[in-house]
Amino acid sequence: MSRIGKKPIPVVKGVTVTVSPANEITVKGPKGSLSQSLDRDIKVVVADDVINIERPTDQIRHRALHGLYRALVANMMKGVTDGFKRELELVGVGYRATITGQLVDLSLGYSHNIIMELPKEIKGTAVAEKGQNPRIILESSDKQLLGQVAAKIRGLRKPEPYKGKGVRFSDEIVRRKAGKSASK
């Protein structure tokens, strides 16, 4: 049995969980509402402020979905109560970011600025402190969407291994390479 899949998910006070007959789970909390459609074979049981995910058989497909859906529902529960946060750091001379409303304006060393629109579920702030690299802080209740948008911003200028310039996650470690060595 899946160790992750059989772990019960506690329902926090102030959060309502509903499961539709079409096997779609909706979690509503103080930070918003999230919904996820589940495979028809997987059952969700909500009882006594605990959510349990159950599978019908021990097939490989059912075992894989068991742990997956348990993790997704647990992330939904954490997202509507606490929310998720992702921080990106812009390393490079002249790299800047400004956020006005849902528009992110990035200056990443190209001949033009890159303007990108954030989804309405994500709240972004740009921080530029003297003596430190500019940072972009993204917050959302949806972990999947937040990770996807953060990866898209990072993909605009990935950190390169020689000088370390580029957009990186704040907790990311960039492995540096030695440059050319002149020989005589």
Q: Which residues pair with 9 in a beta bridge?
A: 51
Domain 9-81 sits in CATH at 3.90.930.12
**Cα–Cα distance between 84 and 146 in angstroms, integer?**
8
| The pLDDT of residue 182 | 67
Angstrom distances, CA of residue 5 to CA of 47, 52, 140, 142, 151: 16, 8, 25, 20, 27
**Do 9-81 and 84-169 share a fold?**
yes
Q: What band does 5 get if pLDDT is binned at 50, 70 and 90? A: confident
Q: What band does 180 get if pLDDT is binned at 50, 70 and 90? A: confident
Reduced to 3 states (helix: H, G, I; strand: E, B; else coil), residue 70 is: helix
Q: Which residues pair with 107 in a beta bridge?
A: 96
Q: CATH classification of 84-169, choosing from 1.10.3720.10, 3.90.930.12, 3.40.50.880, 3.40.50.12280? A: 3.90.930.12
Query: What's the chain's length in residues?
Result: 184
Give the position of tokens 């009882």. 47
The 10s digit of each residue's pLDDT in 143-176 is 999 999 999 999 999 999 999 999 999 999 999 9
The 10s digit of each residue's pLDDT in 60-119 is 999 999 999 999 999 999 999 999 999 999 999 999 999 999 999 999 999 999 999 999
Q: Which residues pair with 87 in a beta bridge?
A: 137
| The pLDDT of residue 183 | 66
Q: What band does 184 get if pLDDT is binned at 50, 70 and 90? A: low
pTM, two decimals, is 0.88
Q: DSSP class of residue 51?
A: E
Q: Enumerate the domain spans of the chain.
A: 9-81, 84-169
> Is the CB of residue 84 less than 8 Å from the CB of residue 121?
no
